[in-house]
Amino acid sequence: MFKVKDHYYNKAKDEKYFARSIYKLEEIDQRFKVLKKGDLVVDLGYFPGSWAQYTAPKVGPEGRVVGIDIQPVNKKLQLPNVTLFEKDIFTLTGPGDLGADRAFDVVLSDMAPSTTGIKTVDQARSLDLIESVFGLLPILLRPQGNFVIKVFDSHDAQVFLKAQKNRFNDFQFLKPKSTRSISKEFFVIGKGFKA
Ligand SMILES: C[S@@+](CC[C@H](N)C(=O)[O-])C[C@H]1O[C@@H](n2cnc3c(N)ncnc32)[C@H](O)[C@@H]1O
């Protein structure tokens, strides 16, 4: 994986986090309050696991984090309230596939497709993933639950997102400070899912 060794990379290394992405979720959560004690959270595309490292203490011992990724399970990520699965989100049929007996309070997705360098192909793959996650919300996210998803900007992504706005009480976009300025990524934060 290509790593930019900047301030956030070094900070993550010093603070023993698996990736600099931790600071994106931290900023999102500080601003929008998406996570709380006792929550049952699914972290789609968790690998290597910095979002789970942030989320696990936030939800505390009564809460639980379930991470899924197509990568083999990260055995170095061992926290008592985190469960990991090697799974493709395209195969998910409901919370039961992830050992949960009810819908999640929060759905997080930092997923990114493997890139080809061909802009149109990469944008289409990214949108495909995003559409799939929004498609899974009725089976994964409880009514009034919260949602965070990474999006690679494109005209088609903007058109798609506009049509999703009314599925939440509150729907916001954020480009966190720790996201590199040249990056086309931003995050969508949906609060209060209208199931
Ligand atoms: C940017 S990384 C996530 C970093 C993670 N949030 C962290 O903080 O450590 C994106 C992940 O999405 C995963 N991914 C991509 N497509 C996926 C799919 N269809 N199902 C599950 N995971 C997928 C990739 O394998 C990759 O590990």
19: CATH: 3.40.50.150
- The answer to whether position 2 is within a domain reads no
Range of the domain at 28: 7-193
**For ligand 1, mutation pick of 111, 131, 184, 185 (most atoms within 8 Å of CB):** 111
Instruction: Check if 73 has its Cβ closer than 6 Å to any atom of ligand 1.
Output: no
* Catalytic residue list: 150
- Distance (Å, rounded) from C-alpha 46 to C-alpha 52? 7
Mean pLDDT of the chain: 93
Encode burial over 40-68: b for 16+ CB neighbours within 10 A, e otherwise: bbbbbbbbbbbbbbbbbebbeeebbbbbb
Q: Per-residue pLDDT for 3 more than 70?
A: no
pTM: 0.95
Q: Of residues 117 and 156, which shows the higher confidence score?
A: 156
Tens-place pLDDT, residues 142-180: 999 999 999 999 999 999 999 999 999 999 999 998 888
Instruction: Check if 67 has its Cβ closer than 6 Å to any atom of ligand 1.
Output: no
Encode burial over 155-171: b for 16+ CB neighbours within 10 A, e otherwise: eebeeebeebeebbeeb
Token pair recorded at residue 165: 């706005």
- The answer to whether position 1 is within a domain reads no
Domain count, the chain: 1
Instruction: Check if 19 has its Cβ closer than 6 Å to any atom of ligand 1.
Output: yes
